[in-house]
A and B are shown apart, each in its own frame.
Chain A
């Protein structure tokens, strides 16, 4: 203990840590029946940290070319000591991170935690989710297996529908007309350089906003939070968060050991596309919707209408702090609660439908 105290003193003399420590000592977290929702943001952060660490280990062996990509992942899984575990953990933590982020986002939405003065926190959170999905989309192609290759071809084809810049966007993503080794190199660059850099900045901003503004209490739990004594952030809340992280780690270890992430067959660009190509589960609700749309709606291409509707919905979702005036005044806003639940039902229903084989079969 004396060593730690000496080290703290050493740092404090040079960095003036005491004001920060004082802030942490006095920081409190409100307690009410929805307090459990506060842990999912931290859980998403934990999975992100796991991904960064496992991703760095994978980088030591992965080779981002069409010729060697698949073989290098196979090498990691079969020859590198604990390589199978690292790759499985990387893939599973990616999915669990998106899941935790989705739960975090919907809990924030339903508790109306996006309202003033937390708009910036909501916006940076939305950007982080989009970046997380970008990580998923770019990382999906990297093993260069059959399913990833054709799913990326379908996925990138969709951006081609974007009016005016669709053609440019397609070429920008693919690095050419089709999904090739150039696409793989490009996606690798996005996955390990561009996205991590942007994510780091946005994540730091997001965490700073959360720490500066503290936790939001929903209107329906306001009275309860007044009645119950708050939790001290250090150490009570942090220990609870650590407990959640440990449960997340146990889940991750169990999934990685019992359901190792499959590698599949090496991509063959000249082979015909396999049946039932599907993107990652978090894109399934959009994928299934686009499949169900008719070829033309009011003379406009069905897929274009669908993508336009998703774009508009995402924009409205993003700017919900601006639209929800009642929540801004600290009142209940049941319309937005209903919208939130409908959105959850829609995403859940469409994903389940797609996993079950789809209506359009």
Chain B
């Protein structure tokens, strides 16, 4: 009996440590209807639904009290529903307290509130704009989840739709004179494709460039820094190019001038053209130095791409004919890599810098082509050898048939 009691006690205690405390708030609200019940339902999965937090963390009151009057007694600390203008300070009350936060999530940053005050949202909020986004606008009021939880509105793949709930709303954005095409543009970008189709969670979404709690549009001078966070080499090369100073003088954002901001499409070599489809042609003419550089870089790239494509076709033909083309495949791989390097070098706007890798690409592609030609020669040699062998075998067969006939010819009648 004592042993059973001890087991029951241990079980009860360990259960108490793992599960949220029995809360009269939840019990009561779950038995209600509509919004009063919905908040309790949502809070079941809330990351704050755990011991020492729970409903009183934001609303005050006594969750142990059985009677509603006692549980929601303002004299005993019940605060009710916080007003929108109280939200940042209410959340920040805990989240900027490193010692407190460390007890629940040791690695969680505690600078959200100070970041928020630097954001456009925070700045608007300070002016008394109750439409400005606060913590609950992005994280929800009840049902707040970790950023790593796929159900969270701030999970990487869902951030864009969370931001879109306000920023794609023309009516809501009208007073602020903010365009509402960013989300649509972003969804056409390589970044969105990488994030949602290739499932690359490191691909940038809204907060990657604008910041999360300190969300703000990057200034013209900062754009290269923002893009350079991931595209480090491109940023270095751009800074060594004549474009760095020229764009700064024209107050044009570095990367944005060619790649756009939200609608960052997959770059094409044809952007180097000076015609209507070209990006370089927007500023340069054939006669100026920039135009000449664009023509030179395009020619170098096109030669490398054309030679590599031709080599690929020939190597594939040889492979289809049953030849092993490992060395040619390695050369093609190198040519491909050199073309990627050349496309990166375009950020220098220097023909010489682009011509070096494109030259290496052409050389590697020529090696692959030579391998394919040698393979075709080998195939011809093999087939000729086979033909000779087959002719010899057929001759041997004919000879055998003749011998057999000779052997089996009926003997001429004697006499």
Interface residues, chain A, with chain B CB atoms under 8 Å away: 74, 77-78, 84-85, 235-236, 239-240, 242-243, 246-247, 249-250, 253-254, 257-260, 262-263
Residues of the A chain whose Cβ atoms lie less than 8 Å from the Cβ of B389: 250, 253
Contact B324 A263 (CB under 8 A): yes
- Shortest beta-carbon distance from A213 to chain B in Å: 25
Which residue in chain B gives the minimum CB-CB distance to A237?
B404
Contact A254 B390 (CB under 8 A): yes
Contact A257 B386 (CB under 8 A): yes
Query: What would be 24 A-B contacts, judged by CB atoms less than 8 Å apart?
Result: A78-B324, A84-B324, A85-B382, A235-B407, A236-B407, A236-B408, A239-B407, A243-B400, A243-B401, A246-B397, A246-B400, A247-B397, A250-B389, A250-B390, A253-B386, A253-B393, A254-B390, A257-B383, A257-B386, A258-B383, A258-B386, A260-B322, A262-B322, A263-B324
Cα A235 to Cα B404 in complex, Å, equals: 9
Residues of the A chain whose Cβ atoms lie less than 8 Å from the Cβ of B403: 239
Contact A246 B383 (CB under 8 A): no
Interface of B is mostly: helix
B94 at the interface (CB under 8 A from A): no
Contact B322 A246 (CB under 8 A): no
B394 at the interface (CB under 8 A from A): yes
Cα A10 to Cα B86 in complex, Å, equals: 117
Residues of the A chain whose Cβ atoms lie less than 8 Å from the Cβ of B385: 257
Residues of the B chain whose Cβ atoms lie less than 8 Å from the Cβ of A247: 397
Cα A74 to Cα B326 in complex, Å, equals: 9
By CB atoms of chain A within 10 A, which of B322, B326, B404, B408 has the most?
A: B322
B396 at the interface (CB under 8 A from A): yes
Residues of the A chain whose Cβ atoms lie less than 8 Å from the Cβ of B407: 235-236, 239
Residues of the B chain whose Cβ atoms lie less than 8 Å from the Cβ of A262: 322
Residues of the A chain whose Cβ atoms lie less than 8 Å from the Cβ of B397: 243, 246-247, 250
Contact B396 A246 (CB under 8 A): yes
Contact A242 B400 (CB under 8 A): yes
Cα A74 to Cα B324 in complex, Å, equals: 8
Which residues in chain B, 390-415, are within 8 Å of chain A measured between CB atoms?
390, 393-394, 396-397, 400-401, 403-404, 407-408
Cα A250 to Cα B407 in complex, Å, equals: 25
Q: A239-B403, A246-B393, A253-B393 are in contact. List 18 more A-B contacts (CB 8 A).
A: A74-B324, A77-B324, A78-B326, A84-B324, A85-B382, A235-B407, A239-B407, A240-B404, A242-B400, A243-B397, A243-B404, A246-B400, A250-B390, A253-B389, A254-B390, A257-B385, A259-B322, A260-B323
Residues of the A chain whose Cβ atoms lie less than 8 Å from the Cβ of B393: 246, 249-250, 253
Cα A242 to Cα B398 in complex, Å, equals: 12
Cα A74 to Cα B400 in complex, Å, equals: 39
Residues of the B chain whose Cβ atoms lie less than 8 Å from the Cβ of A258: 383, 386
- Shortest beta-carbon distance from B395 to chain A in Å: 10
Interface residues, chain B, with chain A CB atoms under 8 Å away: 322-324, 326, 382-383, 385-386, 389-390, 393-394, 396-397, 400-401, 403-404, 407-408
Residues of the A chain whose Cβ atoms lie less than 8 Å from the Cβ of B324: 74, 77-78, 84, 263
Cα A263 to Cα B326 in complex, Å, equals: 12
Which residue in chain A gives the minimum CB-CB distance to B394?
A250
Cα A259 to Cα B386 in complex, Å, equals: 12
Contact A253 B322 (CB under 8 A): no
- Shortest beta-carbon distance from A333 to chain B in Å: 34
Closest 3 CB pairs of A and B: A260-B322, A257-B386, A250-B393
Determine which of B323, B383, B386, B404 lies in contact with A236 in the assembled complex, contact meaning CB atoms within 8 Å.
B404
- Shortest beta-carbon distance from B283 to chain A in Å: 48
Cα A254 to Cα B390 in complex, Å, equals: 8
Residues of the B chain whose Cβ atoms lie less than 8 Å from the Cβ of A85: 382
Cα A332 to Cα B234 in complex, Å, equals: 86
Which residue in chain A gives the minimum CB-CB distance to B404?
A239
Known contacts: A77-B324, A236-B408. The answer to whether A257 contacts B401 by CB under 8 A is: no
Residues of the B chain whose Cβ atoms lie less than 8 Å from the Cβ of A242: 400
- Shortest beta-carbon distance from B230 to chain A in Å: 29
Cα A166 to Cα B322 in complex, Å, equals: 40
Which residue in chain A gives the minimum CB-CB distance to B323?
A260
Which residue in chain B gives the minimum CB-CB distance to A259?
B322
Contact B322 A254 (CB under 8 A): no
- Shortest beta-carbon distance from B401 to chain A in Å: 7
Which residue in chain B gives the minimum CB-CB distance to A229?
B408
Known contacts: A250-B390, A250-B394, A259-B322. The answer to whether A239 contacts B400 by CB under 8 A is: yes
Which residue in chain A gives the minimum CB-CB distance to B395?
A246
- Shortest beta-carbon distance from A216 to chain B in Å: 23
Cα A77 to Cα B389 in complex, Å, equals: 20
Residues of the B chain whose Cβ atoms lie less than 8 Å from the Cβ of A246: 393, 396-397, 400
Which residue in chain A gives the minimum CB-CB distance to B401?
A243
Cα A242 to Cα B407 in complex, Å, equals: 15
Determine which of A239, A243, A254 lies in contact with B386 in the assembled complex, contact meaning CB atoms within 8 Å.
A254
Cα A77 to Cα B323 in complex, Å, equals: 9
Cα A181 to Cα B139 in complex, Å, equals: 53
Cα A236 to Cα B401 in complex, Å, equals: 10
Residues of the A chain whose Cβ atoms lie less than 8 Å from the Cβ of B383: 257-258
- Shortest beta-carbon distance from B204 to chain A in Å: 29
- Shortest beta-carbon distance from A142 to chain B in Å: 17
- Shortest beta-carbon distance from B379 to chain A in Å: 9
Which residue in chain A gives the minimum CB-CB distance to B387?
A257
- Shortest beta-carbon distance from B318 to chain A in Å: 12
Residues of the A chain whose Cβ atoms lie less than 8 Å from the Cβ of B323: 260
- Shortest beta-carbon distance from B362 to chain A in Å: 25
Which residue in chain A gives the minimum CB-CB distance to B379?
A257
Residues of the B chain whose Cβ atoms lie less than 8 Å from the Cβ of A249: 393
Cα A262 to Cα B382 in complex, Å, equals: 16
Cα A263 to Cα B383 in complex, Å, equals: 20
Cα A360 to Cα B386 in complex, Å, equals: 41
- Shortest beta-carbon distance from A29 to chain B in Å: 13
Residues of the B chain whose Cβ atoms lie less than 8 Å from the Cβ of A239: 400, 403-404, 407
Residues of the B chain whose Cβ atoms lie less than 8 Å from the Cβ of A259: 322
- Shortest beta-carbon distance from B321 to chain A in Å: 8
Cα A233 to Cα B324 in complex, Å, equals: 46
Residues of the A chain whose Cβ atoms lie less than 8 Å from the Cβ of B404: 236, 239-240, 243
Which residue in chain A gives the minimum CB-CB distance to B325?
A78
- Shortest beta-carbon distance from B320 to chain A in Å: 11
Residues of the B chain whose Cβ atoms lie less than 8 Å from the Cβ of A240: 404
- Shortest beta-carbon distance from A245 to chain B in Å: 10
Cα A42 to Cα B168 in complex, Å, equals: 80
Which residue in chain B gives the minimum CB-CB distance to A260?
B322
Known contacts: A78-B326, A262-B322. The answer to whether A257 contacts B400 by CB under 8 A is: no
